[in-house]
Chain A
């Protein structure tokens, strides 16, 4: 791990600068600051996301002004103790040569976060991608529709419960699961695969 410490300069971990600043300026917006592998993940509530991102972008000590991406990690097995999705934002500060990760946890039945396209123009497409592949809904996004997959695609492939390989074999016990929605008789119950 020596290389990590070398490149992070005076700070022990990438993102520690942001964590220090947030603990000072918006202490109630920091739910947790997890450190591992020389990187800090800052967990924040979704209500405070826009506020935190704006502060990190504009504050002289932070200047995390380069939006790298937003994506999500699906952990279906940890519900209901912990919300299902980690929505992950990664921002880079070129001024201070640092990179920080923000994590917003949202439940599977309500995967909504506020959009950040007002803060970073570059988040527009990344939010559409996270919507497309993981079904995260970005509230207030001006044009939230699929970006990589066709408009009529069913489901969100990067969710863990999405079957992405092979032809599903239809047996009587899993007929509703195996049959695509458009071929299913209208009276058949159940979720699509």
Chain B
């Protein structure tokens, strides 16, 4: 049997016909190839980059106007990962929304869980126990380190350094092991729920977290040895992708990308949630707002996260990890055995969920990428009437054209890496 397509008459090429047909289906401009340059005028050319491009950290398409190798225009095209999570929220009860939040910013799912839970808890007027708050902090800070490790590895990889990637992946694995231990899942944990946590942590947890807190400072020293003083890295990042503090604020840039421009605003400090005011930590900031400063900020943040984890683990209180408020909490197992009412309540909570008072709240947390906010509108039913997710990557990416204007094409990938976008977060 032949694997080649049948031959047609002379001049007829079935392969290229199929190819053209496929491009037609995809709506590709006829005659424009993925790597084709389009001559706009004497000076400028249009280049399509992505969506399948290793340096775009997902599926991001950029249409670039190039003058030689200099970027004169940049038009991001997003939405390739749009999944309609906000519509899904409207069709699920509050606890069922938690797994959807996992999948938005998939490198730091715990922050998303936390933001949504805090918003719902504000509407419900419930306070979670201190132990749950501390465990939330520990898990979120571990997620921050894991997320920054991926950023560190991939950004270095984009700039041609392959070794850091392998190091970062090795250490991230230890944090994923902790995720697996507490929730059974490595990435999409759904560990933080409305009203508390999925479950208390097993006994092995303390030793594993202590091990991370003990060994990671040494690992971060290793990363810094590899990159921070590296002459090539400095050459390629110093003074590039600069954004001033005023411009960053005007574009709604938050998180390490904003702090790299010298604005010391961190929601964990400014509006502490989930007991962050119990811990001592600093907010690293940069001066110039270039790629290198954003790099230094994130490296500093990993060290600060370790400090927080240390303190939270040392001061971890005992007690329950879920609220005792019965409008949200499931009745305890032994009660179900003896009380009909508890059994009914359990059944109702699992099938219908709980009702949330009418109202609107905006709750924001400091995710590894910036301000992750949830505008939660309730109409008094068991499902969110509307939930708008304020994704940090979305706003941060919108400042990309401003950052790369006038830069060289090869530096563009470094700038994309330095704002640390997650396309799942951008597109939702």
Chain A positions within 8 Å of B, measured between CB atoms, are 1-4, 7, 14, 36-39, 41, 65-69, 71, 73-74, 88, 90, 92, 94, 97, 99, 101, 120-126, 129, 133, 146-150, 157-158, 164-165
Docked pose: A126 CA to B273 CA in angstroms: 26
Contact B427 A41, beta carbon cutoff 8 Å: no
Q: How many angstroms from the CA of A14 to the CA of B364 in the assembled complex?
A: 13
Could you say which residues of chain A place their CB within 8 Å of the CB of B87?
Answer: 157-158, 164
Q: Are A122 and B362 neighbours in the complex by a CB distance under 8 Å?
A: no
Distance in angstroms from B303 CB to nearest chain A CB is 24
- Given A36-B360, A149-B79, CB of A125 within 8 Å of CB of B395: yes
CB B114 to nearest CB in A, in angstroms, measures: 14
Interface 0/1 of B193-204, CB less than 8 Å to A? 000000000000
Chain B residue contacts of A149, Cβ below 8 A: 79, 82
Q: For residue B64, give the distance in angstroms from its CB to the closest CB of chain A.
A: 17
Instruction: Assess the A71–B361 pair: CB atoms within 8 A.
Output: no
**Chain B residue at minimum C-beta to C-beta distance from A120:** B250
Question: Can you report 30 residue pairs joining A to B where beta carbons are below 8 Å apart?
Answer: A1-B125, A3-B127, A4-B122, A36-B360, A41-B360, A65-B249, A69-B252, A71-B375, A71-B388, A73-B386, A74-B386, A88-B375, A88-B388, A90-B373, A90-B375, A97-B270, A101-B362, A121-B247, A121-B250, A122-B252, A123-B252, A125-B394, A129-B394, A133-B86, A147-B78, A148-B82, A148-B428, A158-B86, A158-B87, A158-B386
Contact of A157 among B78, B84, B251 (CB under 8 A): B84
Chain B 377-428 interface residues, beta-carbon cutoff 8 Å to A: 377, 385-386, 388, 390, 394-395, 398-399, 402, 427-428
Residues of B within 8 A of A148 (CB): 78-79, 82, 427-428
Whole-angstrom distance from the CB of B205 to the nearest CB of chain A?
A: 26
Q: Are B250 and A122 in contact (CB under 8 A)?
A: yes
Q: Does B84 lie within 8 Å of A7, measured CB to CB?
A: no
CB–CB A94/B84 < 8 A = no
Give the top 5 A-B pairs by smallest Cβ distance, nearest first.
Answer: A122-B252, A148-B79, A148-B82, A125-B398, A122-B251
A94 touches B270 (CB 8 A): yes
Question: How many residues does chain B have at the interface if contact means C-beta atoms less than 8 Å apart?
Answer: 44
- On whether A124 and B398 interact (CB within 8 A), knowing A133-B86, A158-B86, the answer reads yes
Known: A4-B122, A121-B247, A121-B251. 6 other contacts (CB 8 A): A39-B362, A66-B254, A68-B252, A74-B386, A121-B399, A122-B395
B361 contact from A7, A39, A120, Cβ within 8 A: A39
B253 touches A122 (CB 8 A): yes
Question: Do A73 and B377 touch (CB < 8 A)?
Answer: yes
**B91 A165 Cβ-Cβ under 8 A:** yes
Please list the residues of chain B having a beta carbon within 8 angstroms of any beta carbon in chain A: 78-79, 82, 84, 86-87, 91, 122-123, 125, 127, 247, 249-254, 263, 265, 270-273, 359-362, 364, 371, 373, 375, 377, 385-386, 388, 390, 394-395, 398-399, 402, 427-428
Contacts of A97 in B (CB 8 A): 270-271
Residue of A nearest to B263 (CB): A94
Which residues from chain A contact B398 at a C-beta distance below 8 Å?
A: 121-122, 124-125
Residues of A within 8 A of B364 (CB): 68, 99
Chain A contacts of B386 at CB under 8 A?
73-74, 158
Cβ contact of A65, chosen from B82, B250, B272, B402, cutoff 8 A: B250
Closest residue of chain A to B264 (Cβ to Cβ) is A94
Distance A150 CA – B385 CA, assembled complex (angstroms): 25
Given A97-B270, A122-B252, A165-B91, does the pair A68, B359 have CB atoms closer than 8 Å?
no
- In the complex formed, the residue of A with least CB distance to B397 is A125
| Residue from A38, A65, A121, A122 whose CB has the most chain B CB atoms within 10 Å | A122
Q: How far is the CA of A1 from the CA of B121 in the complex (A)?
A: 10
Give Cα A183 to B123, complex, Å.
45
Residues in chain A near residue B362, CB distance under 8 A = 14, 39, 68, 90, 99, 101
Bound: A39/B399 CA distance, A: 29
B390–A69 touching, CB < 8 Å = yes
Q: Are B250 and A69 in contact (CB-based, < 8 A)? A: no
Task: A97 to B375: give the CA distance in the assembly, Å.
Answer: 18
Provide the residues of chain B in CB contact with A68, threshold 8 Å: 252, 362, 364, 371, 373, 390, 395
